[in-house]
Structure 1
Amino acid sequence: MKLQQAKRHQVKLRLGLSGASGFGKSYSALLLAYGITNDWSKIAIIDTENGSASLYSHLGDYNVLSLEAPYSPERYIEAINTCEASENIEVIIVDSITMEWSGSGGCLDMHSKLGGRFADWSIVTPRHQSFIDAILKSNCHVVTTVRKKMDYSMDRDSNGKTKVIKHGLKDITREGFSYELTVDFEIINDKHLAKVSKDRTGLFTNKPEFIINASTGKKLIAWCNEGISIEQITQEIKNCSSIIDLKHIYDKHSSVQSEIKSLVLRRKEELEALKNQLIDQKEIVNPIKTENNGIDS
């Protein structure tokens, strides 16, 4: 445990787009993704909305992965891994994550089939968390969309009568997902106007409602690219000549350790192999010197 000076590293975006049906989540996500990549072929959309992702094929040659029921966390993870396996993909759009929670074979369905008891969440929750981890640890930028529904409660008024209270629209996914995001946009009407509900970038905080488009993505990728890049750190690791220096690099870049750990371990193995090779060469040279000394005497 030690204090370190804060350093700004380049990051991968974790974006959320929420809104009611028909408010333009898929369309907005595609435009935003294009602003990030400036290349439609580098975008993959995981479509759980009955082929709706292909409705916008006129925009460009983006990639579509159709995902049908059962909407288990594991099938979502497999879809994300499939997109990541393509070296060309830079942005993954998960449209939508709602089905992983409330769709056929999703978390609520699994919980119900287990018996619907509180204790059954101990089985479902780790599977759901694995899905969240797949999003957070992805080596691509990830845009998620989520449906909203009206949230109600039954309350009693001052006369003791029961009445229905509307609490506004609520995301159809497990509560707390937005805390994991870099930016969370809410599309508020069928005119596609959006507002930000969470913004770690500061780019959209206290700004008026706006329509998400490619320029939104360009602003976000410019923010992402500030600071030290993974490519620069990779070069540092490759140039490292001792295990002590390698440990220093790993400790210095604590915020991206999960991304550089495999590179560090690989370089450590290379340095250890080089060290063993030098020891072997020294052992070969020393007996020769001893033999020569015996002849000279």
Structure 2
Amino acid sequence: MSFAPKKARREKQKAVIGFIGASGSGKTVSALLTAYGMMREAYPDASEEEVWEKIGVADTEHGRSLLYANEQFGEVKVGEFLHIDFDPPYSTERYNDAVQALKNAGCEVVIIDSLSHNWQGEGGIIETHAGMSGNSFQNWGKLSTETTSLIKTLTRNNVHILCTLRTKTEYVVEPNEQGKSAPRKIGTKPVQKDEMEYEFMINFVINAEHLAETTKDNTRLFEGNLVRLNEDVGSKLYKWLELGVDIKAEEAAEKAKEDEERAELAKEIRKLEQISEAHKAKVTEFEYKTKAKVEDFNLLLLERAKSLLETIEAPATEEQTN
């Protein structure tokens, strides 16, 4: 198969974002508010109900996301998003099924809360590996297709994917505001395969104060800053995603332009059917212009107009009357 190089152009993107943090850091709420900001930006004239219907949650956390329905966060009241109670087993196939179900229900943003269960949960990859017989190292190789399939689920479903990931919790002892030593909970590595972080467009790492910094940010919108993840972040993100070239929209616009030109030509041809003998010469001029632009039904209409002109009796012109 030969390759066909072409000039690089940035196209519209679908978000694949990780919300990484320890328990209680606010991953789920951050994802909900970000999703809301994206869809509110996408549908500025839609009702609140319509906007929330564009957001779906695949919930592996025993329905925890439902705790936030109808709760107020700043200026946003969480509405009735679509929800899947995602019970075990947490296999890669079932993650894909959950995303597909929400997509088919009309969701344009899918929140996976959480992706960590696919790695370290009932029926997840670690448990599956533990139950396999034979060489442990070779068994990991056999399971590599699970990660490949999961990456396809995140990147090839043509919906925005926001994933929460748990981190292993550790404590550090440091001076508090009173200058006394006190333990502070921190999150370390996310609970997922190490390479999975590279698949995300943005990785938001959220601390105990519910502020996030990025360890990866392809958008370069948030790098180097601590941000509170809310609807404004979602709005800003959606605008960035929409800055790319939409190839399908370009093709549709080009076709619409051609159709409009053809319609205008057809309209002029129909007018020719009514012209007088004194304007016959214009048919020849118009024929030349038409042939230079189109090759289809407009030429048939032109032939029809010419045929009519040859058979009808032209009315006298104003000049002849005078």
- What TM-score do you get using the length of structure 2 for normalisation? 0.66
Partner SS state of residue 145, structure 2: helix
Q: Does 1:181 align with 2:184?
A: no
In the alignment, what sits opposite 2:53? 41
Q: Is the 8 A contact 2:167 2:187 kept in 1?
A: no
Question: Helix, strand or coil for the counterpart of 2:53?
Answer: helix
The aligned residue for residue 283 of structure 1 is none
Q: Which amino acid aligns with 1:196?
A: T
Give the secondary-structure state (helix, strand or coil) at the position aligned to 2:23: coil
The aligned runs of 1:1-297 (5 Å cut-off) are 1-38=3-40, 39-58=51-70, 59-86=78-105, 88-115=106-133, 117-150=136-169, 169-189=188-208, 191-207=209-225, 209-235=226-252
Q: Name the larger-Rg structure.
A: 2
CA distance in 2, matches of 1:168, 1:194: 12
* Structure 2 residue identity aligned to 1:8: R
More helix by share: 1
2:187 & 2:204 partners in 1: Cα distance? 16
Contact 2:54-2:107 within 8 A present in 1 as well: yes
**Moved segments of 4+, more than 6 Å:** 236-239
Q: Say if 1:102 and 1:172, in contact at 8 Å, map to a contact too.
A: yes
1:148/1:171 contact within 8 Å kept? yes
Which deviations, in whole Å up to 9, do the C-alpha atoms of 1:171-198 show, x marking residues without a partner?
1000111111111100021x20111110
The one-letter code sitting in structure 2 at the alignment partner of 1:83 is L
Change (3 A) 1:134 1:223: same
**C-alpha deviation, 1:234, in angstroms:** 4.9
Aligned counterparts of 1:96 and 1:133: Cα–Cα separation in 2: 17
Aligned residue for 2:119, secondary structure, equals helix
TM-score by length of 1: 0.71
Unaligned runs of 5+ residues in structure 1 are 153-166, 242-297
Number of residue pairs the alignment of both structures matches: 224
| Greater Cα offset, 126-135 or 192-201 | 126-135
- Tell me the CA shift for residue 151 of structure 1: 7.5
Matched letter for residue 222 of structure 1: K
After superposition, the CA RMSD in angstroms is 2.3
Aligned-pair distance for 1:150? Answer: 4.3
Separation of aligned partners in 1, 2:102 and 2:154 = 12
d(CA) in 1 for partners of 2:87, 2:9: 42
Gaps (5+ residues) in structure 2? Answer: 41-50, 71-77, 172-185, 259-322
* Cα 1:136–1:151 shift into 2, 3 Å: farther
Contact between 1:187 and 1:194, CA under 8 Å: does it hold in 2? yes
Q: Which amino acid aligns with 2:167?
A: K
State the distance in 1 between where 2:164 and 2:99 align.
14
% same residue:
34
Superposed displacement of residue 238, structure 1: 6.2
